[in-house]
């Protein structure tokens, strides 16, 4: 909660204890580090700030559009890399519309994948975010904060292309392995059968959702 100055800097007036230090630089994402201050010892923090996660706004973008897209940027979360087993590791024949043959084709064999650090959106792209970039809203179930739907892969590629130009940030779709790794909890995975739990109903499906 206090600004101490710019690096390189030595701070010598801290009390013994645990502190969280945030390092910021224009054009880069802020990085937070925990540091322990002990009596008579020097604690050093060295970081490489990731570039390209602070918007460099294209000229002519309205304040309202910036506000909407800044929320999209702020909702990106870092996923620390690691190793995981990708694919279906078990089956649940009680799940609605269970198809063992289809599951075997789509998600087997199980194989080990190494993932590097990456960032991913905490939430789906909302309709107001899509409209701020594309100027239209193709969704059937309208609502500014609702996820955008009824868009194709090509539509999404055009959205990303325009978003990158507007913000100066290089967004992309996650790979299949990155998506599954994040859905499983990354390197903090609890080993659930499904994303979020061991029962099928943690996901939306025809049997537990209602179209209005």
Q: Over 60: is that where the pLDDT of 101 sits?
A: no
Average pLDDT, stretch 22-51?
78
CB 80 within 8 A of CB 186: yes
Q: What percent of the chain has pLDDT over 70?
A: 83
pLDDT, averaged across the chain: 83
pLDDT band at 63 (very low <50, low <70, confident <90, very high): very high
Q: Where are the alpha helices (DSSP H) in the chain?
A: 63-74, 100-107, 127-134, 153-167, 176-183
CB 77 within 8 A of CB 174: no
Q: Token match 């179930």: residue?
A: 141
Pairwise pLDDT comparison (117 vs 137), residue with the higher score: 137
pTM: 0.66
Spatial separation of the C-alpha atoms in residues 181 and 188, rounded to whole Å: 10
CB 75 within 8 A of CB 169: no
Pairwise pLDDT comparison (111 vs 195), residue with the higher score: 111
CA 133 to chain centre: 19
Q: Over 70: is that where the pLDDT of 151 sits?
A: yes
Q: Over 60: is that where the pLDDT of 102 sits?
A: no
Q: Which two tokens stand for residue 53?
A: 């996660």
Task: Select from 120, 29, 30, 125 the least CA-distant residue to 78.
Answer: 120
Pairwise pLDDT comparison (134 vs 22), residue with the higher score: 134
CB 122 within 8 A of CB 76: yes
pLDDT band at 12 (very low <50, low <70, confident <90, very high): confident
């Amino acid at each position: 909660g206090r600004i101490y100055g710019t690096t390189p800097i030595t701070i010598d007036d801290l009390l013994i204890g645990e502190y969280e230090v945030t390092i910021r630089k224009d054009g880069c994402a802020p990085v937070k580090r925990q540091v322990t201050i002990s009596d008579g010892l020097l604690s050093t923090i060295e970081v490489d700030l990731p570039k390209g996660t602070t918007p460099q706004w294209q000229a002519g973008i309205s304040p309202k559009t910036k506000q909407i897209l800044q929320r999209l940027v702020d909702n990106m979360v870092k996923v620390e890399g690691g190793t995981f087993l990708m694919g279906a590791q078990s089956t649940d024949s009680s799940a609605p519309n269970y198809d063992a043959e289809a599951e075997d084709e789509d998600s087997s064999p199980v194989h080990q994948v190494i993932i590097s650090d990456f960032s991913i959106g905490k939430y789906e792209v909302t309709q107001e975010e899509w409209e701020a970039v594309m100027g239209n809203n193709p969704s059937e179930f309208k609502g500014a904060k609702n996820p955008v739907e009824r868009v194709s892969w090509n539509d999404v590629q055009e959205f990303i292309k325009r978003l990158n130009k507007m913000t100066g940030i290089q967004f992309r779709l996650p790979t299949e392995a990155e998506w599954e790794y994040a859905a499983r909890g990354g390197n903090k995975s609890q080993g659930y059968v499904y994303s979020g739990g061991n029962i099928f109903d943690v996901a939306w499906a025809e049997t537990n959702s209602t179209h209005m």
